[in-house]
Copies of this chain bind each other. A is one copy, B any other.
């Protein structure tokens, strides 16, 4: 097999990432072998090991991209909201819930990621992305400084669990509406 140009190489790396992303989302990390990914991407395992460190490294790349997408959606929503701190917090939180509920994200980011990359590492990545913004928003709505960290953890956990609850619900759209209502109630408690 002849070799591809640098641009082609980037595209195969991207194809591998895409295949892995959809397979992990539908079947779960443990049930997807590198052969499955390679076959879906139309390459061999050698190509995967060339572009990624190992199976865990491939998953990390997938998770990192998804997390970045979530963070981007949250920031965009917050910036598009009226400039008051509470409405920014509210907009960001609701955007987080809506984005992460997209079925691809739930299983990868909320179920597999903590176990695969380790909770400590995953939490660090989460901090770098969304949670930092969340803490900042909490400070802006005058949450006591000593309680900012715990409160961020509480809110983050609540939203994550809500996302899982929505995804598994028989009527996801109705569930989503309920979750948003409950989230508003929760946010009001902190904003006051």
Q: Is the Cβ of B162 less than 8 Å from the Cβ of A179?
A: no
Taken together as a complex, chains A and B put the C-alpha atoms of A116 and B31 apart, in Å, by: 11
Main secondary structure of the interface of A (DSSP, over half): helix
Contact A153 B168, beta carbon cutoff 8 Å:
no
Q: What is the CA–CA distance of A112 and B179 in the complex, to the nearest angstrom?
A: 25
Q: Which residue on B lies nearest to A178, using beta carbons? A: B150
Q: CA–CA, A162 to B123, complex, Å?
A: 12
Residues of B within 8 A of A43 (CB): none
With contact pairs A123-B164, A168-B123 given, residues A151 and B115 touching in the complex (Cβ less than 8 Å)? no
The contact sample of 28 A-B pairs, CB cut-off 8 A, is A28-B115, A28-B118, A29-B115, A110-B114, A110-B119, A111-B114, A111-B115, A111-B119, A112-B115, A114-B114, A115-B115, A115-B116, A119-B164, A123-B168, A147-B182, A149-B165, A150-B162, A150-B181, A153-B158, A153-B161, A153-B165, A157-B157, A157-B160, A157-B161, A157-B162, A160-B161, A186-B189, A188-B189
Interface on A for B, CB 8 Å cutoff? Answer: 28-30, 107, 110-112, 114-116, 118-120, 123, 146-147, 149-151, 153-162, 164-165, 168, 175, 178-179, 181-183, 185-186, 188-190
